Amino acid sequence: MRSKPISPLKESEESEKTPLSNQPKRRVVTITTLCLAVVAAAFIFLGIDLWDVFMAFPAFGSFFVTRFMPPNLGAIPNNINLIVDTIFFAVAGTGISSVLALACGLLLSEKTNSIAWLRLTVRFTLSILRNVPVLVWASLLIFIFGIGSIVGLIAIIFATLGFLARSYAESMSEVAGEKIEALRAVGASKAQMIFHGILPEFIPAWVNWTLFTFEINLRASAILGMVGAGGIGIVIQSNLRLFRYHNALALIATLTAMILLTEFLTNRLRGKVK
């Protein structure tokens, strides 16, 4: 039998080959196992049996088909004004938030505000606003203003402001840099650098973040009604509680269609702003 030819040169060449990946396999396996273990621990802690969850789907499907179908389209005309209200809550809330967030964003970005204590104060205040969910804001505000539309609007503004301001600030910091350096070099003041340099370049990011937030707010404003903060949510809730499932389905379907239409329009708009 012929033995395999030994070539020290080839061996050394092979050992000097550049590796195709620098990620150790063991680390990938460890991280994946850890992630799966955390999810499994959450299920065990909550006492949820995955099998039960899957088994509930056929019952849910059959309940939906027998009790909700067909939708009662007659319920739509009486409530269309509330659906429109829901959309306008999102429009008004996002509009006011975007103006306030623009001011806060300018105070939050290092490139536009060099006063550290002011930056930190704004950051702290906004992080409180941002980290309280919109439904919690609505529930708290109902104690102050009572049930009504104003609660929904303020809840949306509070919940949106923190998120938008932070997103705006990050985008402003990204567009600053070299371009602002040129304006600094011509002797422009801070205000001139912001208005002539940062804001024109920030417009696409501003449109994108605002439309993205609008879509989130549209869904939030539908839910807000369920805690009495105005909009269609309260009627959907009442219909469900009174077992008028056909009416509820008609309203949910109309709302979903309007949300999808709005998403389609905002996506078109987003593509046009560059």
Partner 1 sequence: MGKALLSIKNLRKSYDKFEALRGIDIEFNEGEFVVMIGSSGAGKSTFIRCINRMIDPSDGEIVFSDGVHMEKLRGAALRRKRAQIGMIFQHYNLIGRVNVIKNVMHGQLGQVPFWRSLLGLYPEAEKRRAVELLEEVGLSEQIFKRADALSGGQMQRVGICRAVMQNPKLLLADEPIASLDPKSSEIVMDCLKRITKQRGLCCIVNLHQVDFAKKYADRIIGVKAGKIVLDGSPDALTDEIVRYIYSGEQTTVEEAQEKPVPSSGRRSAAHA
Using CB under 8 A as the criterion, which residues of the chain lie in contact with partner 1 when the complex forms? 178-179, 181-189, 191-192, 195-197, 200-201, 203-204
Q: Between 6 and 186, name the residue whose CB sits nearer to partner 1.
A: 186
Distance CA 134, CA 87 (A): 16
Helix axes 149-175, 75-108, angle to 10 degrees: 40
233 and 223 Cβ atoms separated by less than 8 Å = yes
Quote the least distance from Cβ 22 to partner 1, whole Å. Answer: 27
Q: Please, what is the minimum distance in Å from the beta carbon of residue 171 to partner 1? A: 13
**Cα Rg, the chain, nearest whole Å:** 27
Return the number of the residue (7 or 192) whose C-beta is nearest partner 1: 192
Question: What's the closest the beta carbon of residue 196 comes to partner 1, in angstroms?
Answer: 6
Q: Which is nearer to partner 1, 190 or 219 (CB)?
A: 190
Location of structure tokens 């205040």: 125
User: What DSSP state is assigned to residue 274?
Assistant: -
For the CB of residue 203, give the shortest distance to partner 1 in the complex, in Å: 6
Q: Which is nearer to partner 1, 188 or 259 (CB)?
A: 188
Contact 90, 218 (CB under 8 A): yes
Q: CA-CA distance, 231 to 228, in Å (whole number)?
A: 8
Q: Which is nearer to partner 1, 183 or 211 (CB)?
A: 183
Please state the closest distance from residue 96 (CB atom) to partner 1, in A. Answer: 24
d(CA 123, CA 115): 12
Closer to partner 1 at the Cβ: 14 or 178? Answer: 178
What type of residue sits at position 167? S
List alpha helices for 109-244, DSSP H.
Answer: 116-131, 134-145, 149-175, 178-185, 190-192, 199-224, 233-241
Q: How far is the CB of 177 from partner 1 (least distance, A)?
A: 9
- Under 8 Å between Cβ of 162 and 127: yes
Distance of CA 176 to the CA centre of its chain: 25
Nearer of residues 206 and 245 to partner 1, judged by Cβ: 206
Task: Name the minimum Å distance from CB 106 to partner 1.
Answer: 15
